[in-house]
A and B are shown apart, each in its own frame.
Chain A
Amino acid sequence: MVKYIIKRILYMLVTLWIIITATFFMMHSIPGDPLAHMAKNLPEQTRENYYEKYGLDKSTGEQYIIFLKNLVTKGSLGESLRYPGRDVSETIINNSKISAIPGGLALVVGLVIGIALGIIAALNKNKWPDYIVMFIAILGITVPAFVMASLLQYVFTVKFQLLPTTGWGEPKHIVLPVIVLSFGTIATYARYVKSNILDVMGQDYILTAEAKGVSPFNVMKNHVMKNACLPCITILGGQIAGIFTGAFVTEKIFGIPGLGFYYVSSISDRDYTMIIGTTVFAAALFVFAQLVIDITYGILDPRVRIK
């Protein structure tokens, strides 16, 4: 087990290095520079002085070596170019903590409601509760977050002024974002759990259990649910990693100072250090989540063996 984990961590490091390298050279190959957001043709010399100050006058290869050196020896991702004076790692940590609050709550809410709806739908297959659940699920998957967010914002903050339009810091600020963010999760789990339950219920061991006289409730609890919910771990792992990287659209509409903004804007701003920082962060979270999922599987599912 220990050997396996060490091996996996080494693989993770190699994966990260490949991602860093690829991102680094790709982002430097797109035209433009961190002053592009000014949308101005600055005099050549002004631009050159700026490049020199931030080391952008060096070749991409040289910049790459400097970046790796700082990362390995000091653990530093550098300073944002778009927001001078702000440390990239600090920005990522602070903002991902903010993103994780509505994201995490939405995941819990979505998971609970989603699984419950999935069970209801499976037990009432082809009856009206099933149709209602599936209707909600389709809505949740197809309605884009910005439509949902703008609609809720209009209804709850303009029509009926029950909640603040934007802001951060108090529980009332995250009510609407959590609803928006959980909607998709509810939809995903409702569908997933429903099809898994139906799948498991068709298995031979369920028939065996029923044949030996286990009550329907116990069949459901001990045999169906356990097997139907296990595969959820695969999606869950990715989603837990995802709550830290933020949700661009929802955060933008509700004015939540999360990390989502930096993922999107850093690219059009050519904020090189921030692009690399956020990419490394997302990649690290992702590979780490994969590792945890694999280990969890090994513990929970005897059919999967870790060597």
Chain B
Amino acid sequence: MKMKKLLIGLLVSAMLLSSAACSGTKEESVGGANKETRTVDGNELDAEQYINSYLFGDPSTLDSIKLSDSYGTTVLMNIMEPLTRLDEESGENVRVGAGAESWESNEDGTVWTFKLRDNKWTDGQPVTAQDYVYGIAQTVNPESGSPNSYFLTDIKNAEAIINGDMDISELGIRAVDEKTLEIELEAPASYFLAMTDTRAMLPVRQDLVEKYGEQYGAEADTIVSNGPFMLESWTHNSEIVLVKNEDYWDAGNVYLDKVDWKILNDESTIFNSFDNGSIDHCETGTSEWIDKFSEKEGVLEVTYGDPTVRFHLFNTKDELFQNVYVRKAFMLTFDREDMNETIYFDTKIPAYGWVPKSVTTGDLGEYRAQVDEPIKAMQDDPQELLLKGMEELGLGDDPSQLTVKINFGDTSQWTRNYGEYLQQRLKGVLGVNIELETEEWGSFQNRTNSGDYQIGYMQWGSDYNDPMAILSIIDAIPTSWENQEYNDILKQAAQELDEKARVELYAQAEQILLDEAAVSPVIYMKVIQFKYEYVKNLQETSFNTMGFKKVYTSGR
């Protein structure tokens, strides 16, 4: 009897809580709070709410300090609560409060104050500002050896601490009180908010790290969560299962009771699994599968830009590629439309700029919609450019005397085909001889870092949603290209708080980069996702960091 009363009491309070929490969405209940008749945005929710998804690899760890892959980030965005999250409304990204309910910066944008919400860890402890301080500071701390420390170099003294010149206690971050977090930056950084939902700024429980030591986050039972879901089990290299976290501050707006990720790293297995409904959605770039699934009944195709650019890099210390005309000649020889058609079967986007599609600048929306792609306006004849460069270098006027080597950090059949495609194109247009070399990434990285190459091939994704992410990594690309003006403009852009002026500066920097042709972008990546119609609210933009928080199924 007593049990029953208690149960009713719990149900009533759960009802109250959920109706109080759902003020933001158009959720209505028909006939009381009966789960079976809940509707969201006019869709009737299925009685059983679960999603079957997949990860392409096993997360290296779920300790956000040591984590080095995107699989783990995907899981963490569902089980941890970042300060903010990036949501989407009709295809546009909107930053919303998550762990923080509000935030503000001082006038010049150097001090950010985050007011935290009342939220709980799954072991019942309250989430405090100190948890965020610990997670961020340990990522910077050189003793942790975190591969993510480079995300945080904008925080005051972070650079010096990473370099070992200053103690970790000097880091510009502090918990003002239990619920207030203050972060001081080295200089104004207009894009700073975009860092607050990366893995480098997640909260970490100091007491648990001290309890479990190196094992923290390596297994399901050595980590606790404070996000929409919690870990139920983690079978390495096989499956990760999450269940809804009932103590989550916004639990009333979380619909799924269960998230089941299978770890699948074989393409045909993934597609077979989607085909027979074992998983509810999948991504693909393979044209046969695209053809097949786009005709499949009950399946929707969703495509959106992936903020990743594939490019060729030139060694500007090389005796041939030290010349800007030579570099530009190669850059303009690539036929990006044809490449997209022939190599990618129209599944990607030809790239005429350095900043990929889908990167946005605050309220102004997509960067690429505001700034024209520089290479599109370059009408020079590649062969003339090459001859001009050869003349400057004193190499005569016969391109067929030149042999240029292209190096690849991947040995797959696709890469070889791509190499041969380039070989044909470059020989046909420029008349130069092309040699190809493929090797594993590790060896390739070593080679390019030591400057032992002429042309390389890489791809790079944006770590956060701002053109700065991709513009600033030029530093880390081993082209030996240095340009003071470029660096100055980026520095100025970082401190420019007016968005319009900032976009203008980014455009200038991008123009310089491509006028100098230190790198030659060729393709922007694109996500082609298939999902069954019953899956609702799945992300449709790349930077979305909501995870499965808003996802539900209707009509499964």
Q: Which residues of A contact B (CB under 8 A)?
A: 30-33, 35-43, 45-46, 49-54, 79, 82-86, 91, 95, 150, 153-154, 157-158, 161, 164-168, 252-257, 261, 268, 270
Contact = CB atoms under 8 A, between A and B. Distances in A.
Contact of A255 (B269, B447, B460): B269
Nearest to B65: A84
B77 to A, nearest CB: 18
A175 to B, nearest CB: 15
Contacts of B145: 49-54
B42 interface: no
Contacts of A252: 265-266, 269
Contacts of A153: 268-269, 272
Q: Which 5 A-B pairs have the closest CB atoms?
A: A32-B442, A53-B145, A85-B218, A31-B446, A257-B238
Given A41-B477, A157-B272, A86 B409 contact: no
A37 B476 contact: no
Given A41-B476, A46-B147, A84-B60, A257 B236 contact: yes
Contacts, number: 152
Contacts of B338: none
Interface stretch (B93-101, B273-281, B397-405, B486-494): B273-281
A110 B337 CA distance: 52
Contact of B216 (A85, A150, A164, A165): A85
A49 B476 contact: no
Given A38-B68, A42-B476, A253-B266, A157 B445 contact: no
B236 A86 contact: yes
B144 interface: yes
B466 interface: no
A103 B276 CA distance: 27
B150 A157 contact: no
Main secondary structure of the interface of A (DSSP, over half): loop
16 contacts: A31-B445, A32-B440, A35-B68, A37-B441, A38-B147, A42-B476, A43-B476, A46-B150, A83-B236, A85-B222, A150-B272, A153-B272, A154-B268, A158-B276, A167-B238, A167-B262
A131 B81 CA distance: 65
A79 B440 contact: no
B58 A42 contact: no
A41 B238 contact: no
B449 interface: yes
A32 B218 contact: no
Interface in B445-494: 445-447, 449, 459-460, 473, 476-478
A45 B162 contact: yes
B172 interface: no
A257 B226 CA distance: 28
B102 interface: no
A86 B276 contact: no
Interface string B37-63: 000000000000000000000101101
B58 A83 contact: yes
B196 interface: no
A37 B214 contact: no
B237 interface: yes
Contact of A166 (B147, B269, B409, B459): B269
B69 interface: yes
Given A37-B69, A38-B147, A45-B149, 6 more contacts: A49-B145, A82-B60, A83-B58, A154-B272, A166-B269, A257-B236
Given A30-B443, A37-B68, A157-B272, A85 B217 contact: yes
A158 B142 CA distance: 50
A32 B272 contact: no
B318 interface: no
B162 A49 contact: yes
B144 A53 contact: yes
A166 B150 contact: no
Nearest to B236: A257
B147 A255 contact: no
Contact of A38 (B69, B264, B440): B69
Interface in B134-186: 142-147, 149-150, 162-164
Contacts of B150: 42-43, 46
> Which interface residue of A54, A85, A158 has the most chain B CB atoms within 10 A?
A85
Interface string B219-246: 1001000000000000111110000000
Nearest to B217: A85
Contacts of B449: 41
Contact of B147 (A39, A50, A254, A257): A50
Contacts of B142: 45, 49, 52
B66 A84 contact: yes
A79 B237 contact: no
Contact of B272 (A36, A38, A165, A261): A165
Given A85-B61, A164-B278, A168-B239, A45 B163 contact: yes
Contacts of B275: 158
A40 B269 CA distance: 28
A54 B214 CA distance: 12
A266 to B, nearest CB: 12
A85 B234 CA distance: 14
Given A84-B63, A270-B442, A53 B273 contact: no
B263 interface: yes
Nearest to B439: A31
A31 B218 CA distance: 27
Contacts of B478: 41
B19 interface: no
A85 B272 contact: no
A156 to B, nearest CB: 10
Interface string B257-297: 00000111110110011011010000000000000000000
B214 A85 contact: yes
A43 B473 CA distance: 10
A166 B147 CA distance: 32
Interface in B49-93: 58, 60-61, 63, 66, 68-69
A33 B444 CA distance: 12
Given A30-B442, A53-B143, A53-B145, A257 B235 contact: yes
A201 B449 CA distance: 66
B340 interface: no
A165 B278 contact: yes
B215 interface: yes
A33 B440 CA distance: 12
Contacts of A157: 272, 276, 278
Contact of B276 (A33, A40, A161, A167): A161
Contacts of B162: 45-46, 49
A167 B237 CA distance: 10
B60 A261 contact: no
A229 B465 CA distance: 67
A39 B264 CA distance: 20
A54 B58 CA distance: 21
A158 B274 CA distance: 9
B149 A49 contact: yes
B429 to A, nearest CB: 30
A48 to B, nearest CB: 8
B443 A32 contact: yes
Nearest to A52: B145
A42 B297 CA distance: 44
Contacts of A35: 68, 147
A165 B273 contact: yes
